[in-house]
Chains A and B, each alone.
Chain A
Amino acid sequence: KAGVTQTPRYLIKTRGQQVTLSCSPISGHRSVSWYQQTPGQGLQFLFEYFSETQRNKGNFPGRFSGRQFSNSRSEMNVSTLELGDSALYLCASSTGAQRNEKLFFGSGTQLSVL
């Protein structure tokens, strides 16, 4: 069974640009959540999608957005990039049926903003 796949693995962008990150969940999983990881702030929840609907959202500005497709694949978009957006972006998948269930994480997309 294939794991969670995130593409691309690395990205370099400049300030003001926008970026789209992709996440393919484990087959059969309907929930995809996104996290930002930085040395200073640690792991922070961005948002969660379940069956194409955003079910939960963290405390990030509107420049951060996402969507989920009918096949459960998800994309995350960051517009008007800032230097502080440099981070490892992790997505995780699960069935989404219970709060106590295990999340399966991808290896992440390392975004560098210059």
Chain B
Amino acid sequence: AQSVTQPDIHITVSEGASLELRCNYSYGATPYLFWYVQSPGQGLQLLLKYFSGDTLVQGIKGFEAEFKRSQSSFNLRKPSVHWSDAAEYFCAVATGYSTLTFGKGTMLLVSP
């Protein structure tokens, strides 16, 4: 069955430091992968997505992610974190039209 694993429940990063959030997926076919971000009390906003082509995808707010088929991973990165990046981040795989299976999320805390 399809699934998404985000191994880190919480991550604390100093402002200005680099960030990498891990995501592993299990899916039989070519995956359509997404990263969404959720601020407290808000819905989810798409950061970036991968469905084919270049395995390094660029998103909004300076985020990027790399798809590695051999490792079944789709890790999210940012070279320099800002305090406003503090939020919960969700990795997801599309399992149908408008149907996503999400990971449990990683809460990012940014320290001054």
The chain A residues found within 8 Å of chain B, CB to CB, are 4, 31-33, 35, 42-45, 48, 50, 55-56, 90, 92, 94, 96-103, 105-108
Q: Bound complex: CA of A99 vs CA of B27, how far in Å?
A: 14
> Distance in Å from the Cβ of B67 to the closest Cβ of chain A?
13
Which one of B17-25, B74-82, B101-109 is at the A interface? B101-109
A45 touching B97, Cβ below 8 Å:
no
Q: Mark B72-98, 1 if CB is under 8 A from A, else 0.
A: 000000000000000000101011111
Q: Using a CB–CB distance below 8 Å, which chain B residues touch chain A? A: 32, 36, 41-46, 49, 51, 90, 92, 94-105
Contacts of B105 in A (CB 8 A): 42-43
Q: A42-B105, A43-B102, A102-B49 are contacts. A90–B97 as well, Cβ < 8 Å? A: no
Chain A min CB distance to B68 (Å): 18
Closest residue of chain A to B101 (Cβ to Cβ) is A45
Residue numbers in B under 8 Å from A90 (CB-CB): 43-44
Q: Report whether over half of chain A's contact residues are helix, strand or loop; otherwise say mixed.
A: strand
Question: In the complex, A4 Cα to B105 Cα: how many Å?
Answer: 22
Supply 14 A–B pairs (Cβ within 8 Å), ascending by A.
Answer: A31-B98, A33-B98, A42-B102, A44-B102, A48-B96, A55-B96, A55-B98, A90-B44, A98-B97, A99-B97, A103-B98, A105-B43, A106-B43, A107-B43
| One of A4, A56, A102, A105 near B99 (C-beta < 8 A) | A56
